[in-house]
A and B are shown apart, each in its own frame.
Chain A
Amino acid sequence: MDELLQQLVNGFSNGAVYASLALSLVLVYRASGLLNFAQGEMAMVATYGAWELTERDIPVAVAIAIAMAGSFVFGALIERLLIRPVGDAETHALPLTIVTIGGFITLNAFAQWRWGTAVRSFPPLFGNGKITVAGAIITHQVIGTVASLLVVVGLLFLLFQKTKLGLAIRSVSSNVESSRLVGVPVGVVLMVSWGIAAAIGALAGGLVAGNQDLSPFMMQFILVSVFASATLGGFDSPLGAVVGGLLVGVFEVLIGRYVGIVGTDLALGATFVLILGVLVVRPQGLFGTAKVRRV
């Protein structure tokens, strides 16, 4: 029993990180209708930026906050300078996908060139403390990771449901043309969406690096799980990203621990099978909306 509880704690901890990054993917998907393959690498570079600051004795919380602010600007600029000029996702899906894959490769190469491939330690945002609950060890970092996710979700909810900007963001994700006709500055909304996504990604990067280590490849290890989270939850649903992330986190840990044939080596393979299963059974995901297209 203690062990199951411990596994669930670990699963939730991983899942909270997946959920944060899946939220980034979903925000971009809702705004621009495309899958940003570079989202994880943007977060990784932002985390290196935060690491540079911590090396200059800036507290890690401040460093991550600065990295989030920088990422907001960076994400907005990527939308304006690299994505929008290529064209609309409906007509230019493939070129846009190639641009984001190019961004993935470029950012990863940049990180390797600038910081090397050596693994570096990154101070955990919530310290090294831990508590024991019913025999399960829960680190402050784990509690903080899950709490961060909840805060992010709460803030996003307030933004979307209670502010004019949030209304505009929801409107643009549903109907660009009608949004322009009522005076919504669609370009600004797109940039803000990419900015928020990048800022959440930077937070997730800081948490990943604090849980494990900082390396140019740290986001690639979890990328498949993040895609699985967004697929399971539904690519156009922020709520789905969160639920999907937590479910995938727990799924991976449990299947790796209790299904002998899978073990830790095949856990990633199991995640792929999960993606496949979702696409076959319920392609729009748990909370996504099935797209109906009039032809």
Chain B
Amino acid sequence: MSLLDVRELHGGYGQVKVLHGLDFSVGQGEVVVILGANGAGKTTTIRALSGMIASSGDILFEGKSIQGQRPEQLCKLGIAHVPQGRGTITDLTVEDNLRLGAYVRKDKDIDADIGIWYDIFPRLGERRAQLAGQMSGGEQQMLAIARAAMARPKLLLLDEPSLGLAPLVTQEVFKQLADINRDRGTTLLVVEQNANLALSVADRAYVLETGAIITKGTAAEVGADEAVRRAYLGID
């Protein structure tokens, strides 16, 4: 049984249908990437999974349907979402952002966990008292990831973590994502345009085009696919 099983996912905004029946799955401990160009439906897919927009079709998490649940309920079940554009709470300090990430937790280890994330991202520790909005894009992306991870999720959804970041910073972010997956066993579902980097950390990949999945396979298979190479890797 997969951690996340999606069948015939339809969704969109009002009358506008964006997703036309997606089927995909994410196994326990996997890193799965969904590649797609602008407008392919990447963000819509992620938002449907985290309950931010209405959708139809089956969404099974740990074998149970989570279709129609609200974001705050899904968060309690163990699904965390790093939204596009990072979504840090810009008027709160770095530390408050991290504390907020643990909102659904009731245990006593929250402070210890904050310390762990300061070790992983030293920049956050140096700036713990600073407002999140005053940090650079890369630092905010790291904060957004750390904040989502503070909930100790089973599944971490990431919406274009590379967006608006310098190439070196993007590399650093993906390296950290790979570490989180390896060291903490957190399952990752990443939607991305940056195919090279995303495939380098992924186990499996899907390619999304105008709301439908056109290719799927292991990261190596998808990376070797002629159409993918032309469209996303800039290789003839």
Contacts and interface: CB of A to CB of B under 8 A. Distances in A.
A184 B80 contact: no
Contact of A184 (B72, B87, B88): B72
Interface string B49-66: 010100000000000000
Interface string B80-124: 110100011111100010011101100000000000000000000
A157 to B, nearest CB: 15
Interface in B145-200: 147-148, 151
Interface in A123-168: 164, 167-168
Interface string A170-192: 11011101111111111000000
Contact of A168 (B52, B70, B90, B103): B103
Nearest to B50: A181
B71 interface: yes
B7 interface: no
B99 A167 contact: yes
A74 B36 CA distance: 49
B88 A178 contact: yes
Interface residues of A, number: 19
A182 B92 contact: no
A193 B89 CA distance: 18
Contacts of A186: 72
Contact of A171 (B81, B92, B104, B148): B92
Residue in A164, A175, A180, A182 with the greatest tally of chain B CB atoms within 10 Å: A182
A170 B80 contact: no
Given A174-B90, A178-B83, A183-B151, A167 B75 contact: no
A292 to B, nearest CB: 9
Contacts of A180: 52, 70-72
B83 A181 contact: yes
A171 B100 contact: yes
Contacts of A178: 83, 87-89
Contact of A182 (B52, B91, B101): B101
Interface of B: 50, 52, 70-72, 75-76, 80-81, 83, 87-92, 96, 99-101, 103-104, 147-148, 151
30 contacts: A167-B99, A170-B91, A174-B92, A175-B88, A175-B91, A177-B52, A177-B83, A177-B87, A178-B87, A178-B88, A178-B89, A179-B89, A180-B70, A180-B71, A180-B72, A181-B50, A181-B71, A182-B80, A182-B100, A182-B101, A182-B103, A182-B104, A182-B148, A183-B72, A183-B75, A183-B76, A184-B72, A185-B72, A186-B72, A289-B91
